[in-house]
Amino acid sequence: MTDDIWSGAVPSAGGLWLTPAGQTWDAVRLPSQLGLCALSAVPGKLGAVLMAPHSRRMYFLVPPRTTTSWNLPHSTALSEADHVALPPAHRGRPPGPHWFIPPRHGRVHTRTDQLHAAVQVALGLRPGRPQEDQPNLAGLSLDQVQGRNCALCNAPLVRARRTGTFCTGTGLLTEPVELWSCEPRCGPHH
């Protein structure tokens, strides 16, 4: 029930809904550059992500009341007693706060432990994905971005595995893109 995201909301300026955290979600607020790095490092599925361009911040929605021990620098967990101004579900573009990854049925929350690990990677506090699993984000082709070719070795994909969701905020990766690579591993083909 994505409608529950706005549970307890009151209308606010700019068509936003001032919504209490700690009810159906907690939020983790990050500077957007750090958030983009973290987004690419989340190993599992991503839930809804809010972008607030004026303050250059991103908000990841995570399960409610799971952030009490959140302790990472440059990031703030918002739970009971906090409020976040949420845009309506259909607002996926600037200007103003918008859904970078929209809330979808059954896909509202990013797992808190996975986001915590991803922010640690983004902060350089733990190693990221292995080198051989890291796409060259600056050099991807349209075929790679659209999932026709492997994001790692550029071979046409026959069997594919999900490599992750990536976003650099520029070029072909202006918006979050799921990238795919050879299953089980890249290697000599045929």
Q: What share of the chain is helix, strand, coil (3-state, %, to 5)?
A: 20, 25, 50
Q: Shortest Cβ distance from residue 181 to Zn ion (Å)?
A: 5
With beta carbons less than 8 A apart as the criterion, state whether 36 and 167 touch. yes
Q: Is 160 in the site for Zn ion (CB under 5 A)?
A: no
Q: Considering only residues 92 through 151, tell me which ones interact with Zn ion, judged by CB under 5 A.
A: 150
CA–CA separation, 46 and 149 (whole Å): 23
Q: Quick one: 138 or 158, whose CB is closer to Zn ion?
A: 158
CA–CA separation, 147 and 178 (whole Å): 8
Specify which residues 101 forms β-bridges with: 49
Q: Using alpha carbons, list the distances in angstroms from residue 30 to 15, 77, 99, 137, 170.
A: 23, 9, 15, 21, 19
Q: Quick one: 72 or 152, whose CB is closer to Zn ion?
A: 152
Q: Shortest Cβ distance from residue 134 to Zn ion (Å)?
A: 13
Q: Shortest Cβ distance from residue 151 to Zn ion (Å)?
A: 8
Choices 68-76, 116-124, 162-170, 179-187; region in contact with Zn ion by CB under 5 A: 179-187
Judged by CB under 5 A, which of 153, 169, 172, 178 binds Zn ion?
153
Q: Quick one: 86 or 179, whose CB is closer to Zn ion?
A: 179
Q: Shortest Cβ distance from residue 24 to Zn ion (Å)?
A: 39
With beta carbons less than 8 A apart as the criterion, state whether 152 and 144 touch. no
Q: Is 30 in the site for Zn ion (CB under 5 A)?
A: no
* Contact set with Zn ion (CB under 5 A): 150, 152-153, 155, 181-182, 186
